[in-house]
Chains A and B, each alone.
Chain A
Amino acid sequence: MKFYMFHLMPYPHLSEDFEERESAWVTYPNSNYDPTVGTYLYNRYLDELEYAEPLGFDGICVNEHHQNAYGTMPSPNLMAATLCRNTERVDIAIVGNGLPLRDHPLRVAEEVAMLDVISGGRIISGFVRGIGDEYFSMSLNPTHSRERFNEAHDLIVKAWTTPGPFRWSGKHYRHNYVNVWPRPLQQPHPHVWIPAFGSTETMTWAAAHHYTYLSVFAPSKLLKKWFDGFRAGANEAGYEASKDQIGILLPIFVGESDRSAHAEGREHVLWLYHKGLKHKFEHLFPPGYMTEESWGRFLRSGLGSYTALSYEELISQGYAVVGSAESVRERLEELADELGFGLVNALLHMGAMSHEVTKQNMEIFAAEVMPYFQADDEPSSLEKPQTAAP
């Protein structure tokens, strides 16, 4: 099993009127963001990600979100750049660049290639569509989301793998000269991770491309369906997906005992699901962002909003794992057996957790949970990119 430290870099100091606000996204006023506090938070959060290296994590993750308090990394590539310079061994996973949100996907091709070269080939390049709210925040037509994602992806991968200059005449992007400098260090290109929310289109597509499929916050019952769908997609594409091609994003809080872990972890888990993930329904599901089929499935699934779930439901349904090291180990093993993932993106900071508590959470997790799983390395269906010898 591989372990990555995931950070959302939230802005936890919400205003007193937050309960009356419709969302932590799109319309939550940025007057609530204090840049002085931000200076402390960014540097502290980056320290926490960097601390994952000496603790033995396989990698660290940053991601992209816009105009919200849940995660303050509108540019994950900027964060990856500073992490490249302050780490030496760990993978740096960008999960991911929101492709449709950019008018110039070649900027993604260039920036990720730069990061790959600077880091000596440690970059994992995630691609996402961006969540519904971001189609409001960036004024991007959600009905173009999937076709822009697909076209931007094809253009970026071709830019990395085909000698330039070449011409690109797509529907959304047109270039007379595609000739990306630098080229990535990893050949043919950095490995790609695809975080997804269970749409059949995405799981089939990711499997066909031999990419790693990542879940986002959902109950384990649903994750089982998603991962099974992904494995079926791989079978259709003529191969068996190994466990390390499937990753779970999991908020984890490890305490001294179950009792103290729940006493302390509860507010952090609740911040994530009740505050950070407080969306206006209409923002999260803009028209045309999903196909009609996916929308129908979503309506029938009866999935409600995160804010409607109690702490006990969040824990019992697998939205988060909280407990003593032993309990976390057991729960993780149970989930891994049930779901068949071999990659854990551990969200070890949530909400308003202090630096000390975050470090402690990381330390116990690294010392008392990770070693138990890291031993069992299984054969991999992933084609590892090569870096040329220097």
Chain B
Amino acid sequence: MSTGYASRHFEFGKARVHVMSGGEGEPMLFLHPAAGAGYWMPFHEMLAESFTVISPDHPGFGDSDALEWIDGMDDLVYFYLDLLERLDIERTHLLGASLGGWLAVELALHQPSLARSLVLVDPIGLDIPEHPIEDIFAMNPDELRAALFHDPDVARRFIPEEPDFEALMRAFKEKSAFARLAWNPFCCNPKLPLRTHRIAAPTLILWGRHDRLVPPAHGERYRDLIANSRLEFIEDSGHAPLLEQPRLTVDAIGKFVSETASGTPATGG
């Protein structure tokens, strides 16, 4: 069944923040990675078969305007605490990929009652000096394709070889918004390991088997830091399993939620 989705904008001062939502069932808040926001993707559609998927574009990404005061991850967390009040969400399944995974961890430890379950897909956020994340800000498009994707054809679909002007402008906007959050400390909050004990929600950590951007050691560290967690790998995928293997990834998420989370997900069509 095709669920479709609704698009809404919320005013934050002069800025407009874009939120997509669709599907039926318990709420699942999706927190997107550092690129490609603003589109309802096949994985959204698959998730929407079992959940009410709420998918905001972070300020400065996708169709959301930037907010001048968001200058670091803690600002983004406080923005989300406000947005969740506006969305009337007190408790939700939390799903975050890459940058969004880091954000999901931060939200879960700021407000432990928020997460019914936590799913992290190749999250950044940790500083592991012996397994560094490559400097994504310095990568050219060829290097990005190789770092982010396992399948070169999929890579070319998401990072085209001849982007148009609009695509270049959008990439600049999203990279700038990302840099505000993750330039230095680079892609991490060094204090995260001191705080992750606050996370009580059952947690699934998914890792693309061929993630060449964020080494799997980061997944293992998250598994060790979060008490009620397990780590699984998604085959034939790089850093972005939701894009490269949406069916496998969404199935793993659905299975985890139905096995471990308190509620029973609505049956999809």
> Is the A/B pair a real complex?
yes
Asked if A165 CB lies within 8 Å of chain B CBs, one says no
User: A258-291: which residues lie under 8 A (CB-CB) from chain B?
Assistant: 280-283, 286-288
User: Which residue from chain A places its CB closest to the CB of B173 in the assembled complex?
Assistant: A292
Complex CA distance for A288 and B180, rounded to whole angstroms: 8
With known contacts A280-B140, A287-B137, A141–B184 Cβ distance under 8 A: yes
Do B138 and A283 touch across chains, with their CB atoms under 8 A apart?
A: yes
Asked if B168 CB lies within 8 Å of chain A CBs, one says yes
With known contacts A140-B184, A143-B183, A282-B140, A287–B176 Cβ distance under 8 A: yes
Residue from A140, A141, A280, A295 within 8 A of B138 (CB atoms): A280
User: Which residue from chain B places its CB closest to the CB of A281 in the assembled complex?
Assistant: B140
Asked if B39 CB lies within 8 Å of chain A CBs, one says no
Interface of B is mostly: helix
For A299, list chain B residues within 8 Å (CB): 165, 168-169
Do B172 and A287 touch across chains, with their CB atoms under 8 A apart?
A: yes
For B169, list chain A residues within 8 Å (CB): 292, 295-296, 299
For A144, list chain B residues within 8 Å (CB): 71
Do A295 and B184 touch across chains, with their CB atoms under 8 A apart?
A: no
Complex CA distance for A142 and B135, rounded to whole angstroms: 14
CB distance from B108 to the nearest CB of A (A): 26
User: A325-372: which residues lie under 8 A (CB-CB) from chain B?
Assistant: none
User: B158-199: which residues lie under 8 A (CB-CB) from chain A?
Assistant: 165, 168-169, 172-173, 175-176, 178-180, 183-184, 186
For B179, list chain A residues within 8 Å (CB): 141-143, 286-288
User: Which residue from chain B places its CB closest to the CB of A171 in the assembled complex?
Assistant: B71
Do B138 and A287 touch across chains, with their CB atoms under 8 A apart?
A: no
Do B180 and A292 touch across chains, with their CB atoms under 8 A apart?
A: no
Do B176 and A288 touch across chains, with their CB atoms under 8 A apart?
A: yes
User: Which residue from chain A places its CB closest to the CB of B169 in the assembled complex?
Assistant: A296
Complex CA distance for A281 and B168, rounded to whole angstroms: 14
Asked if A136 CB lies within 8 Å of chain B CBs, one says yes
For B175, list chain A residues within 8 Å (CB): 287-288
Interface of A is mostly: helix
For A286, list chain B residues within 8 Å (CB): 137, 179
- Please count how many residues in chain B sit with their CB below 8 Å of the partner chain's CB atoms: 19
For A36, list chain B residues within 8 Å (CB): none
Asked if A139 CB lies within 8 Å of chain B CBs, one says yes
Complex CA distance for A282 and B138, rounded to whole angstroms: 5
Complex CA distance for A139 and B176, rounded to whole angstroms: 15
Interface residue range, chain A: 20 to 34
Contact with A along B82-99 (1 / 0, CB 8 A): 000000000000000000
Asked if B154 CB lies within 8 Å of chain A CBs, one says no
Do B139 and A282 touch across chains, with their CB atoms under 8 A apart?
A: yes
Contact with B along A18-60 (1 / 0, CB 8 A): 0000000010000000000000000000000000000000000
Contact with B along A118-151 (1 / 0, CB 8 A): 0000000000000000011001111110000000
Complex CA distance for A140 and B176, rounded to whole angstroms: 13
User: Which residue from chain B places its CB closest to the CB of A23 in the assembled complex?
Assistant: B138
Residue from A141, A292, A300 within 8 A of B183 (CB atoms): A141
For A141, list chain B residues within 8 Å (CB): 179-180, 183-184
For B173, list chain A residues within 8 Å (CB): 292
CB distance from A144 to the nearest CB of B (A): 8
CB distance from B167 to the nearest CB of A (A): 11
CB distance from A245 to the nearest CB of B (A): 32
For B135, list chain A residues within 8 Å (CB): 136
Complex CA distance for A185 and B184, rounded to whole angstroms: 38
CB distance from B217 to the nearest CB of A (A): 22
User: Which residue from chain A places its CB closest to the CB of B165 in the assembled complex?
Assistant: A299
For A287, list chain B residues within 8 Å (CB): 137, 172, 175-176, 178-179
Can you list 16 A-B pairs, Cβ within 8 angstroms, ordered by A? A136-B135, A140-B183, A140-B184, A141-B180, A141-B183, A141-B184, A142-B183, A143-B71, A143-B176, A143-B183, A286-B137, A287-B179, A288-B179, A292-B173, A299-B165, A300-B165
List A residues at the B interface (Cβ < 8 Å).
Answer: 26, 135-136, 139-144, 280-283, 286-288, 292, 295-296, 299-300
Q: A140-B184, A143-B176, A282-B139 are in contact. List 15 more A-B contacts (CB 8 A).
A: A136-B135, A136-B138, A139-B186, A141-B184, A143-B179, A143-B183, A281-B140, A282-B137, A282-B138, A283-B138, A288-B179, A292-B172, A299-B165, A299-B168, A299-B169
The 5 A-B pairs at the shortest CB distance, nearest first, are namely: A287-B175, A288-B176, A141-B183, A287-B176, A287-B179
